[in-house]
Structure 1
Amino acid sequence: MDDSNGSESTSHSNVRNVVLVVLDTARAKSIDKRTTPSLSRLAAEGTAFDNAFAAAPWTLPSHASMFTGTYPSEHGTHGDHLFLEDDLRTLPEAFAENGVQTVGVSNNTWITEEFGFDRGFDELRKGWQYVQSDADMGAVVRGEDLREKLVATRERLFDGNPVVNAANILYSEVVQPAGDDGSDRSTTWIRNWLAERGDDPFFLFCNFIEPHVEYDPPREYAAEFLPDGASYEEAASIRQDPRAYDCEDYDISGREFAMLRGFYRAELAYVDDQIAALRSTLEEAGEWEDTLFVVCGDHGEHVGEHGFFGHQYNLYDTLINVPLVLHGGPFTDGGTRRELVQLIDLPDTLLETAGIDDPKLREQSAGRSLHPESDAERREVVFAEYAAPQPSIERLEARFGEIPDRVREYDRRLRAVRTREYKYVRGDDGFERLHHLETDPRERTDVSDAQPDVVERMRDHLERRFEPLTESDTDEAGTDDVEIRDGTKDRLADLGYL
């Protein structure tokens, strides 16, 4: 693949351990010293990348890209094909087959064995479950009132081990801290795991999902970020249903979006404290100095920007520009790097920093190592893809009946190419937009008609990187090859995906 640097690992001073923390749905524009002081401290002590971009605007394809170093049309995991096939090498596999202990803690239902993400992990823990089980009691958690919770309990209690299911329900309904969607439980589990594990080097992956819809931060965090005059109860009463908002099933006022943005920032502040807790845990275990600690967002979020709520149907920077901070080894006291980088660069970077050369992953990867001593060329452009609508237009029609014409237009594939100066987006239906980012950083004005020479140059970048959009590069089998479990469907619907 022509983005690969093709270089093997060198004799750099290596770290023993690698920790990759994904702040699900964290966008770069909302990261600052007030909202995320722990991450800001980590950036000041390590290396921050100000221009980092995801390869896709939602969880499944973005994680697949991070795990394989490939773009969505290359790994094939997206809205039309929900499974990460085993013909590609994954980052956990590369670590595991080079003698590294591999553990994952996922708080997002997409990142499980059900969708092919368990390969290479010695253990991939489901953070939303108190006792690990194939039966998901999420429907009980989501019940709007006592009646719904009781109905869900009756329907699901005997789906598997009823004792385990009862324990999971008891935890979620009585014991679980208010405003936490699994991150506090995850850091506690990691603390215990570190205390009990052996001496092998380790790779630890952790996804914190709190910034994802629905935003329900602890009250004490929300108070700092809500607009003047807004109460917690008023903000909490706002309906949070991105697909219904897209389909004009209801409206959200400017004031309501301001409150939702306050809730969103409060969620970021909450997981920022979990980053601090995870750091303290590594320090107490004596592992911090030997660990490469990486924090990134997997994609961003629209909270009213461009008329959207959530993270589907487009490739604005609000969705693909994400925070990325590395600390440890050569990334200590590294300052701020402003060149264009991609999350697909992480596999090459993490392996090189750990002193591991994995030929299979290196050869498939379109990534470029960010190691300060790497011989990889720096990027002039970055790319992103939206390979298929998720949920599909058919699913939206099944739920809402007649849908607005503007939503029907989203039934297309999109690709974006971005330089420091321009952003160009093209669809397989002929849609195209060009933005001059230096004068239009919020991507509000399409200048494609006024600058056809730039359009041609940017389109050429896309065509040299990918097959033409007129040729299908999605899986013709569609989604039928993955039968999503009922419990998973409930949880994904709660996250706004179905």
Structure 2
Amino acid sequence: MSSRHPDIVFLVLDTQRSDRLSCYGHTRETSPHLDAFAADAALFSNAVSAAQWTVPSHASMFTGLYPSAHQMLQSYSVLPDHITTLAERLSLGGYFTAGFCNNPLVGVINNGLRRGFYSFLNYSGLLTSRPNQVGIPSGWLDQYRQSFKQVVAGALNQVQDAFARSDALLAFSLTPLMVPIWQTALSFKGNTGKSLDDAAQLLIERKGLTQEQPIFAFINLMGTHMPYHPPRHYVERFAPHVLRDKAAQHYLRHFNGDIYGWLAPLVGELDDRQKATLDGMYDAEVAYQDEQVGLFLDRLQQSGSLDQTLVIVCSDHGEHLGEKQFMGHSLSLYNELVQVPLLIRDPAGNFSKGTVRDDVVSTRRLFHTVLTAAGLANEMEETLTLAQSLGINPEQVFAEAIPPQNVVNLLHKRQPELVLARACDQPRRAVWIGNHKLIETGTDRLELYDFCNDPDEALDLSDIFPENVELLQECLQQFTHQTNTAVSTDRAPGFDDPEVRRRLRDLGYLED
């Protein structure tokens, strides 16, 4: 590696479940390119997202804070000005910061997540012509073009912000008339290939930059997000029945156009055909996106850029495909949503090649990991880099699922009985300690799972181990108190109460 700070690629595979990647044990070969990448990277087998959907999860990765601390809880939330983002820190530290984003909730809505990026390219929404180009404008004409595009983008973003903030406009966008418009004409899933090409071009050609200025490239891909329209040859591999089964085709067409159905819990179980259709089509999208990511990584490798670059591949959240009668990613904290892939390839050697880390880690620590790799972390932040395990004093890992209010409002209008029956309007919080995971829903429901031996969370142990439940619930209460009384914390939530620490040792969660 050169003497300059490394380039950093922060690649978010939006809506990617870890258990659907072959490098994470999926029985179908969905991810040969990421499998090959994993051989030269550290793979985290128990990475946990701080939240169950896009906005709070990205905010946690960009700030190092849990959702209740950064308060980015809704589609209309705005990141407080006093909270500094990862891109702002890197920009101040000399990095050229560029975003290549296919998710409109990150790349279009004016919520503060783009703060600190010199260039941010949008591939979804009303304006996909990239209002702020990568590179330094070379003349007055380029400067004029960028200024004009920024003015147009600002006006169009106000329209899109209105949809994010209005229940009535959101409901209108889900009507049969509007769904095909925003899925196609408005490029809902963006353009995976173009965004990866643009990112590779910046990293390789470095147009407008000196060779010594490091680059931070954030990339968000939406390939595995609903709706499912993978190329035919991937359907042939992973969902061949869809090509010959008229009933499966009818179900898929209805599902792809039923946006409300992506959000609401199921009233009953999916039948075998429906489940096979969704599983197969999701796997097809995973494999197609993996191919595109592989081409991106190959370009970096062939140019020599890869060996100068810290590459992080992760997800903001997973996806329910009917498990536990949930769909999408709005309401639960089960593993299908919050156990996410995390791969880190580091030419500097801080992450050993081909290793598997099985300690539970929060993706919020990617904030600290990137700053440490860039040489910009303070002493406390360095203690939270994922380059080191916290050993016998592990971090308490938490996740929070505050229901998106616009989803709850839609449920109240269409299926009010589900709101009560499935606690759709209640906050959920989870804590991982040892091999146990406790989920608290509202104030009156607790579930305890052995996530190591029961990754499907089929057996609730709360009635079997009431003492463990009580102790982990105390840890959740301490966490809630900490995040409610302090806007931010640089350190991992710890075990401050000596009595709690003693009981954790007694139950085997801590070592002496």
TM-score scaled by length of structure 2: 0.75
Mark the runs of 5 or more structure 1 residues left unpaired by the alignment.
Answer: 1-12, 154-168, 475-498
Structure 1 232/59 Cα, relative in aligned 2: closer, same or farther at 3 Å? Answer: farther
The yes-or-no answer on 1:315 pairing with 2:333 is yes
Structure 1 75/468 Cα, relative in aligned 2: closer, same or farther at 3 Å? Answer: closer
Shift of 1:57: 0.7
- Separation (CA, whole Å) in 1 of partners of 2:477 and 2:36: 40
- The equivalent of 1:448 in structure 2 is 462
Match of 2:399 among 379, 384, 391: 384
The yes-or-no answer on 1:345 pairing with 2:365 is yes
Structure 1 326/247 Cα, relative in aligned 2: closer, same or farther at 3 Å? Answer: closer
Structure 1 434/191 Cα, relative in aligned 2: closer, same or farther at 3 Å? Answer: closer
SS in 1 for 2:100: strand
The yes-or-no answer on 1:218 pairing with 2:231 is yes
1:8-407 map, 5 Å: 15-33=5-23, 34-79=29-74, 82-112=77-107, 114-128=110-124, 129-132=127-130, 134=153, 135=156, 181-194=190-203, 195=205, 196-198=207-209, 199=211, 200-226=213-239, 228=241, 231=244, 234-235=248-249, 236-240=252-256, 241=258, 243-244=260-261, 246=264, 252-328=270-346, 329-330=348-349, 331=351, 333-357=353-377, 359=378, 368-372=384-388, 379-398=394-413, 400=414, 402-404=416-418, 406=420
- Separation (CA, whole Å) in 2 of partners of 1:218 and 1:130: 22
Contact 1:426 1:432 in 2 (8 A): yes
Structure 1 451/117 Cα, relative in aligned 2: closer, same or farther at 3 Å? Answer: same
Contact 1:47 1:326 in 2 (8 A): yes
SS in 1 for 2:406: coil
Mark the runs of 5 or more structure 2 residues left unpaired by the alignment.
Answer: 24-28, 131-151, 164-171, 488-512
For 1:68-121, what per-residue CA distance to the aligned partner results, in whole angstroms no more than 9, with x for missing partners?
Answer: 001000000012862222211111111100001000011101103511111110
SS in 2 for 1:223: helix
- The equivalent of 2:491 in structure 1 is none
- Separation (CA, whole Å) in 2 of partners of 1:369 and 1:275: 25
For 1:130-180, what per-residue CA distance to the aligned partner results, in whole angstroms no more than 9, with x for missing partners?
Answer: 4135237999xxx99xx969x969xxxxxxxxxxxxxxx9xx669x9xx97
Shift of 1:264: 0.8
Contact 1:295 1:324 in 2 (8 A): yes
SS in 1 for 2:238: coil
Shift of 1:15: 4.9
- Separation (CA, whole Å) in 1 of partners of 2:114 and 2:265: 35
Structure 1 461/242 Cα, relative in aligned 2: closer, same or farther at 3 Å? Answer: farther
Structure 1 152/430 Cα, relative in aligned 2: closer, same or farther at 3 Å? Answer: closer
Q: Percent identity?
A: 30
Contact 1:392 1:411 in 2 (8 A): no
Shift of 1:378: 6.1
AA at the equivalent of 2:412 = E
Shift of 1:301: 0.7
SS in 2 for 1:55: coil
- Separation (CA, whole Å) in 2 of partners of 1:381 and 1:341: 9
- Separation (CA, whole Å) in 2 of partners of 1:125 and 1:80: 20
The yes-or-no answer on 1:463 pairing with 2:461 is no
Q: Relative to structure 2, which stretch is displaced further, 180-189 or 253-262?
A: 180-189
Contact 2:189 2:222 in 1 (8 A): no
Shift of 1:24: 0.2
Shift of 1:468: 8.4
AA at the equivalent of 1:296 = C
Structure 1 89/380 Cα, relative in aligned 2: closer, same or farther at 3 Å? Answer: closer
- Separation (CA, whole Å) in 2 of partners of 1:22 and 1:96: 20
AA at the equivalent of 2:235 = A
Contact 1:104 1:123 in 2 (8 A): yes
For 1:389-418, what per-residue CA distance to the aligned partner results, in whole angstroms no more than 9, with x for missing partners?
Answer: 4534223223x2644355562211111011
- Separation (CA, whole Å) in 1 of partners of 2:453 and 2:392: 28
- The equivalent of 1:477 in structure 2 is none
- The equivalent of 1:4 in structure 2 is none
1:405-416 map, 5 Å: 406=420, 409-416=423-430
- Separation (CA, whole Å) in 2 of partners of 1:458 and 1:267: 37
- Separation (CA, whole Å) in 1 of partners of 2:449 and 2:259: 26
Structure 1 173/63 Cα, relative in aligned 2: closer, same or farther at 3 Å? Answer: closer
Q: Relative to structure 2, which stretch is displaced further, 438-447 or 345-354?
A: 438-447
Contact 2:315 2:341 in 1 (8 A): yes
For 1:167-205, what per-residue CA distance to the aligned partner results, in whole angstroms no more than 9, with x for missing partners?
Answer: xx9xx669x9xx974111111222333422422110000
- The equivalent of 1:6 in structure 2 is none
Structure 1 448/120 Cα, relative in aligned 2: closer, same or farther at 3 Å? Answer: same
Q: Which has the higher contact order (CA 8 A, sep 6+)?
A: 1
SS in 2 for 1:415: strand
- Separation (CA, whole Å) in 2 of partners of 1:366 and 1:258: 45
- Separation (CA, whole Å) in 2 of partners of 1:55 and 1:253: 32
Q: Relative to structure 2, which stretch is displaced further, 447-456 or 63-72?
A: 447-456
- Separation (CA, whole Å) in 2 of partners of 1:381 and 1:78: 21
- Separation (CA, whole Å) in 1 of partners of 2:335 and 2:265: 22
Contact 2:42 2:354 in 1 (8 A): yes
Shift of 1:450: 2.4
Aligned length: 431
For 1:253-297, what per-residue CA distance to the aligned partner results, in whole angstroms no more than 9, with x for missing partners?
Answer: 331121111111111111112221221232344321110011001
